[in-house]
Amino acid sequence: MTDVFRNRPGYALRRAANAMMAELARRLATIDLRIAEASVLLLVNDRLDVTASEIGRTLDIQRANMVPLLGRLEDAGLIERRPIDGKSQAVLLTTKGQTRRAEADAITDTFEDELLQRIAPEHRDHLVPALGALWRAD
């Protein structure tokens, strides 16, 4: 890193995030999933009451992007929608979706374990709380 960026945490954080997300995307591509798709599968898991609106809020995905995202998962046979009440629909995993979710979970767990191994042991317990303080600081 050049001297101009050496002490800029925002720059270092952006570079680290880009590198980590690119690596995770490569790994998830081996099971034909994008990061957002895997995130939906992990979030829905065994729940019977999660709606598209809740998924969007939790994952910070705009409503306009939820329609094609859920459409891709539905077309792939990974999710289905069922009415909860007169106006809401639950997003549920199909049997194929449960299998793919388990694969995504294993890939993500391995990725995150390897990610933590890159951090000095004395800093590992502080990494996630420190990152959380940055994105929850609004």
Alpha-carbon gap, residue 80 to 90, rounded angstroms:
8
Closest CA to 37 of 113, 103, 136: 103
Helix (H, G, I), strand (E, B) or coil at 51: strand
Alpha-carbon gap, residue 37 to 107, rounded angstroms:
14
Give Cβ neighbours of residue 134 (< 8 Å, ≥ 6 apart): 13
Alpha-carbon gap, residue 30 to 16, rounded angstroms:
22
Domains of the chain: 3-118 (1.10.10.10)
Per-chain mean pLDDT for the chain: 92
Q: How far is CA 134 from the centre of its chain?
A: 18
Q: Is residue 23 within 8 Å of residue 52, measured between CB atoms?
A: no
Q: What is the pLDDT of residue 95?
A: 97
Q: Is residue 68 within 8 Å of residue 61, measured between CB atoms?
A: no
Average pLDDT rounded to a whole number, residues 94-104: 98
The two tokens of residue 15 are 């570079």
Closest CA to 90 of 125, 53, 124: 53
Average pLDDT rounded to a whole number, residues 82-90: 88
Average pLDDT rounded to a whole number, residues 90-101: 97
pTM of the model: 0.86
**Per-residue pLDDT tens digits for 11-29:** 989 999 999 999 999 999 9
